[in-house]
Chain A
Amino acid sequence: AQSVTQLDSQVPVFEEAPVELRCNYSSSVSVYLFWYVQYPNQGLQLLLKYLSGSTLVKGINGFEAEFNKSQTSFHLRKPSVHISDTAEYFCAVSNTGTASKLTFGTGTRLQVTL
């Protein structure tokens, strides 16, 4: 079985500051990793994904994440956040097998203020 831990339930940050949202996963097999963003009162939108290849993945809106297999982590980063980045961020994992479901973390609320 696989699992995802998002270590911070809330992250407050000032506009234009850098931010890192942490995600650790557990799986006995190879994985695919995802970050989804949920803006207030909206559905989930895919932010970025790691499927294979380069461990540094770039997504939409200036976000990027790095897959670290040895530390089983997939932390999300942005060098300079905007007010509009205020949202809930979900990390998710699936294994690379043929019958895998997507397992979500509990989410991190990013609150950007002036």
Chain B
Amino acid sequence: NAGVTQTPKFQVLKTGQSMTLQCAQDMNHNSMYWYRQDPGMGLRLIYYSASEGTTDKGEVPNGYNVSRLNKREFSLRLESAAPSQTSVYFCASSEAYGRGTRNIQYFGAGTRLSVL
């Protein structure tokens, strides 16, 4: 009954370092998403993958890259971390992107990232 699993839970980086946030879902969902959450701004979509083999930019993609490794896994990479990327990152999945009732999204527990 794991749902959406994110690793790591916490991370501290120095400016310029790189890292990859991992996300895996076990619900056989087709679509996966990466959001960032900042105080007073709600959740903003970074990238999404409507289906295996496709990825698209969301609202705030600059400074990030993603890989849909297979149907289960969707990773988010910061190539050169900046203090502005200090945030809480959430991965989510849904049965099918944009397909009405099948677009209900389920979230992981988040990764709390600090960039010094």
Q: Is the CB of A100 within 8 A of B101?
A: no
Stretch at the interface among A37-45, A59-67, A74-82: A37-45
When chains A and B are docked, how far (Å) is the Cα of A99 from the Cα of B51?
13
Task: State which size class the interface on A falls in.
Answer: 20 to 34
When chains A and B are docked, how far (Å) is the Cα of A101 from the Cα of B44?
11
Interface bits A89-107 vs B (CB < 8 Å: 1, else 0): 0100010111111101111
Q: Is the CB of A34 within 8 A of B104?
A: yes
When chains A and B are docked, how far (Å) is the Cα of A107 from the Cα of B35?
15
The 8 Å CB contact of A106, one of B4, B42, B45, B92, is B42
Q: Is the CB of B42 within 8 A of A104?
A: yes
When chains A and B are docked, how far (Å) is the Cα of A82 from the Cα of B105?
26
Task: State which size class the interface on B falls in.
Answer: 20 to 34
Given contacts A49-B104, A106-B41, contact A98 B109 (CB under 8 A): no
Given contacts A32-B101, A97-B98, contact A43 B107 (CB under 8 A): yes
Is B100 among interface residues, defined by CB-CB distance under 8 A? yes
- Which residues on A sit within 8 Å (CB–CB) of B104? 34, 46, 49
Q: Is the CB of B43 within 8 A of A104?
A: yes
The 8 Å CB contact of B40, one of A34, A51, A94, A106, is A106
The 8 Å CB contact of A42, one of B97, B100, B105, B109, is B109
Helix, strand, loop or mixed for chain A's interface? loop
Interface residues of B in 34-54 (CB under 8 A from A): 40-45, 48
Interface bits B86-116 vs A (CB < 8 Å: 1, else 0): 0000101000011111011111111000000
- Which residues on A sit within 8 Å (CB–CB) of B45? 101-102
Is B61 among interface residues, defined by CB-CB distance under 8 A? no
Give me the interface of A with B, judged by CB distance under 8 Å: 4, 9, 32, 34, 36, 42-46, 49, 51, 90, 94, 96-102, 104-107
